[in-house]
Amino acid sequence: MIKDITIGQYLPGDSFVHKLDPRTKILLSILFIVCLFVIDKFIGYAFVVAFLALVVYISQIPPRYLYKGLKPVFFLIILTAALNIFMLRGGTLLFEFGFIKIYEEGIRTAVFMAARLVLLIMGTSVLTLTTSPIELTDGIERLLKPIGKEIAHELAMMMTIALRFIPTLIDETDKIMKAQKARGADFETGGIVQKAKSLIPLLVPLFISSFRRADELAMAMEARCYRGGAGRTRMKVLKFSSKDFIAFGVFSLLVIASFAIRFAM
């Protein structure tokens, strides 16, 4: 399960999506999330699925990475769907057994919310899978520049470091779990309390390893004379190209379709 977490991973490539300016991908990801919450009909999600499939095909991302990103949140998706099925009342009564009643509106909302969560996770995963941590830092910093250059740089650096260390900590957790299992530790059997207690041998070395990595990173940054964003120059200056305007133009069709389906239909 730990190996299935793909948040923060980057897949190097030479596709059209990889070559886009990071600011373009960040802004389009935000607009994609807005579209998901604007749409209130299943036909709208058909457009979203087609658009997302096109992006995945162009970016040459193996679909298994998107599936792996969904596996850790399957429980959350199922729980959300179950709550909507059993809690919502409306429409035709489809099933009744004692106090359990399932209505047509509950099933519709459950499927709708599950689809929204799946598309949200898959869509945002494309951003990190096609954008390196350095590019993410530069893009976030430029977008936050209006609030102050130094503050924007520090916020972007903290966000990117946190995102970048997710795969590293996942690998470290997996190694510690295998080492503890080799020593007889059991993380799978027992009740909730027993499973929580069994995590202590895992959490202690993980925290120690995290602090050690943070100290090594701080020393490496200090050795390279890092002093924040003041007076820093860049080897690669971000510039919008024709590819970015094409991406905005194509994505605008999805935005227009989303609002049209919501307010015109």
Q: If pLDDT is split at 50, 70 and 90, which confidence band does 245 have? A: very high
| 66: its two tokens | 């998107």
Is the CB of residue 31 less than 8 Å from the CB of residue 251? yes
Residue 143 lies in a domain: no
Residue 206 lies in a domain: no
Residue 190 lies in a domain: no
pLDDT above 70: percentage of residues in the chain: 89
Q: Tell me, what's the pLDDT at 191?
A: 67
pLDDT above 90: percentage of residues in the chain: 3
- Look up tokens 């998706």; give the residue: 77
Residue 20 lies in a domain: yes
User: Could you tell me how far CA 76 lies from the centroid of its own chain?
Assistant: 14
The candidate with the shortest Cα–Cα distance to 18, out of 239, 251, 252, 243, is 243
Number of domains in the chain: 1
Q: What is the mean pLDDT of residues 37-41?
A: 85
The tens digit of pLDDT for each residue in 126-151 reads 888 888 877 887 888 788 777 776 77
pLDDT above 70 for 229: no
How many whole angstroms separate alpha carbon 202 and alpha carbon 174?
10
117 or 232, which is more confident: 117
Residue 225 lies in a domain: no
Residue 60 lies in a domain: yes
Provide the mean pLDDT of the chain: 80
Q: If pLDDT is split at 50, 70 and 90, which confidence band does 3 have? A: low
Q: Tell me, what's the pLDDT at 87?
A: 79
How many whole angstroms separate alpha carbon 122 and alpha carbon 224?
37
The tens digit of pLDDT for each residue in 149-167 reads 677 777 777 777 777 777 7
Q: Tell me, what's the pLDDT at 151?
A: 76
Q: What is the mean pLDDT of residues 15-19?
A: 89
Q: Tell me, what's the pLDDT at 89?
A: 77
Neighbours of 207 (CB within 10 A): 10
228 or 219, which is more confident: 219
Residues 61, 63, 65, 68: what is their CA dihedral angle, to the nearest 10 degrees?
A: 170
Residue 227 lies in a domain: no
| 59-95 per-residue burial string, b: 16 or more CB within 10 A, e: under 16 | bebeeebbebbbebbeeebeebbeebbeebeeeeeee
How many whole angstroms separate alpha carbon 148 and alpha carbon 124?
26
How many whole angstroms separate alpha carbon 86 and alpha carbon 174?
37
The residue segments making up the domain with residue 30 are: 2-131+236-263
Residue 53 lies in a domain: yes
